[in-house]
Amino acid sequence: MSMEYDIPDSEIQQNSRRRKKSTVWEHFTVKMDGPGCARAYCKRCQKSFAYLKDSKQSGTSHLKRHITLGICQKNQRIPCSKTDANPPKKQARAKPCFAAISFDQERCNSKIAKMIILHDYPLHIVEHQGFIDFVRALQPQFNPLSFNAIQGDCVSMYLREKQNLLNLIDGIPGRVNLTLDLWTSNQTSAYVFVRGHFIDGDWNLHHPILNVFMVPFPDSDGSLNQTIVNCLSDWHLKGRLFTLALDKFFSNETLMGKLRSLLSVNNPVILNGQLLSQNCYARMLSRLALDALSAMGETIDKVRESVKYVKSSKSNEGNFLNLRQQLQVPSTTNLLIDDQNKWDTIYHMLVAACELKEVFACFDASNPDFRTTLTLDDWKQVEKLCAYLKYLYDAANILTFQPYPTANVFFLEVSKLQVELTCAALSQDPFCSRLIMPLQEKFDQYWRESCLVLAVAVAMDPRYKMKIVESTFAKIFGENADQWIRIVEDGLQELFLEYNIIQVLPFAATNDDEGNEAMIKTETSQEFDGSLFGADDGLSDFEFYISDFTCNQQFKTELDEYLEEPLEPRVQEFDILSWWRINGLKYPTLSRLASDILCMPISTLSADAVFDTEIRKMDSYRTSLDSLTLEALICTKDWFQYKSLPMNVPNALVKVEC
């Protein structure tokens, strides 16, 4: 019969020299089971395990498995001995047992870097004592990071994600559209945000920020042009650019002309620059709204002061609500003080105040300190202003529901606004005509510059095609509609023809530093003298293909078949990208054209900046960062936030010297 007894202290000390301290001994105790033989007993279930026999240890791996795999029966009671007259009392609840988890400093560093990127925390947060104390309370083994270390981790994360994005862009079948957005700063420089818009092989829409560049402001030496050229080279986009959208904030017509020429040479399928848009849709609407608001600046100031008085104290607000109930004035909105940097808040303030104008008119009777100076005519003018601001608000609001909607949705919205502003400008009401006429003139210019792009995009919507273009142009242009319709039809045919040529004679962009022009290449084993292919009659195969394609009328093209087929039902939740993915085999060439057209950006602003009244300004903290770190923080946050790429960041980061 074996005997169990505790190991002598001398033997325990001898064994402790031969083994490292392990966390398993918080859950086990060692007892001798005989001379030269010891076993490890679980403190919770009293199960024994081999541990020491004839001076040979069994290790602790099997002990760890007993704890971590849940084998331990923590509620098992110790059986009573026969000699024990009294049964044991109820056993106390066992303390929870947690598996021993090794601390991974690199993984922790990666999570901190991602936290800083996602939430715009300053890099110096890792050196703040409060942050260090908090993390060490969670994990005492944590080693604090320096500014340079976390900066390197953030840049490393950016470079990894950038390579993933570059691989994605290299693999897309179509082209990339670019938008340029401008931020100012307190210095004599500005920051250009270059965002790409493209559709991948699975017809998923992507819109990541590609670069953040610092340029002189205002741009006097053409730095913007070089910025775009650098971006095209950096992302392998030479010869793959479809359109570029930027705002007139950037520069003058001379610079725009140079930029248009540059992009047209490198990217021959953008209709000689006709799809190079100068105007941002959201900023155009903001300018119109600000023009209307400034025309009634004094009246709006009176409304704002009245609202501020009511909202200045709970007492005033309570009296106002009581008076509203007494007068039984219906209202669907609550009073709010506007943010003058967001014109939609000014609009909402005016709408809410107009609904409660009767309460404002009587409020001074119960509040002697309140002095309203708004007359009945003032309120009528504010109501008319709100009616026209609603047109602009509805037209801009589409950009907040979906940050970057496909281009086909804009034609209906923009043409509707064009009709409404034209009718308002011709109103018999002198106030309305005087208020809207300047707005209509500016928007009419935008419409004429952009209607080709918008019409081509809506033609790619199988619910509308050219039918909606024909009916809308007839309403807007009247007897001149045919020539505008012909412009759109010719544009579609030209684009489709060029995409057919590309399939026959594929082109590739040169990515070396010496040349910027896209070159049409073809594989051939024969020498040729100056032309792509020789022809006995002097007509190159390229010219023959164009002649045959345009003159042969006995075959219908994919574009002809698409436009002649019946329209799809007009359902609100129609997924146009899914439709083209399904019909890609039926229209192989046209579907490539559609993918490039549908991802054309009409606005350069993100959803949270649609209603901004001023150009955004880079804060002093960000301007203090070096250019690589700033770009890393902004771009990587965008990629994570909008899930353009998988958010799997490896634990082991490549260290970058900053």
Is pLDDT at 507 greater than 60 in this prediction?
Answer: no
Token readout for 216 is 């002189």
Give 37's strand partners.
Answer: 34, 53
End-to-end CA distance of the chain: 70
Is pLDDT at 375 greater than 50 in this prediction?
Answer: yes
Band of pLDDT at residue 584, cut at 50, 70 and 90: very high
Residue 560 belongs to what H/E stretch? helix 558-564
Cβ contact 602:245 at 8 Å? yes
Average pLDDT over residues 1-18: 47
Is pLDDT at 515 greater than 50 in this prediction?
Answer: no
Give buried/exposed letters for 146-159 (b at 16+ CB in 10 A, else e): eeebbbbbbbbbbb
Of 368, 340, 248, 350, the residue nearest 307 (C-alpha): 350
Q: Where are the alpha helices (DSSP H) in 340-464?
A: 343-355, 357-366, 376-401, 410-425, 430-459
Each residue of 157-169: pLDDT tens digit? 999 999 999 999 9
Token readout for 379 is 């309120």
Cβ contact 600:453 at 8 Å? yes
Is pLDDT at 204 greater than 60 in this prediction?
Answer: yes
Cα–Cα distance between 454 and 524 in angstroms, integer? 40
Cβ contact 557:489 at 8 Å? no
Q: What is the dihedral of CA 335, 341, 344, 349, to 10 degrees?
A: 20
Tell me whether residue 145 is exposed, middle or buried, using C-beta atoms within 10 angstroms of its C-beta: 0 to 12, 13 to 18, 19 or more.
buried
Q: Give me the DSSP letters along 339-363.
A: -TTBHHHHHHHHHHHHHTHHHHHHH
Q: Tell me which of 295 and 66 has the higher pLDDT.
A: 295
Is pLDDT at 648 greater than 60 in this prediction?
Answer: no
Average pLDDT over residues 322-335: 88
Of 67, 19, 30, the residue nearest 45 (C-alpha): 67
The CA-atom distances, in angstroms, between 343 and each of 93, 401, 612, 628 are 63, 17, 7, 34
Is pLDDT at 230 greater than 70 in this prediction?
Answer: yes
Contacts of 374 (CB under 8 A, 6+ apart): 299, 302, 303, 306, 357, 360, 361
- The Cα diameter of the chain in Å comes to 120
Cα–Cα distance between 609 and 616 in angstroms, integer? 8
Each residue of 54-108: pLDDT tens digit? 666 667 777 777 776 655 655 444 444 444 445 555 555 555 555 556 888 999 9
- Choose the weakest-confidence range: 92-106, 483-497, 505-519, 552-566: 505-519
pLDDT value at position 212?
95
Q: Tell me which of 222 and 644 has the higher pLDDT.
A: 222
Is pLDDT at 308 greater than 90 in this prediction?
Answer: yes
Residues making up the chain, counted from first to last: 658
| Cα within 13 Å of Cα(601), Cβ side | 33
pLDDT value at position 533?
30
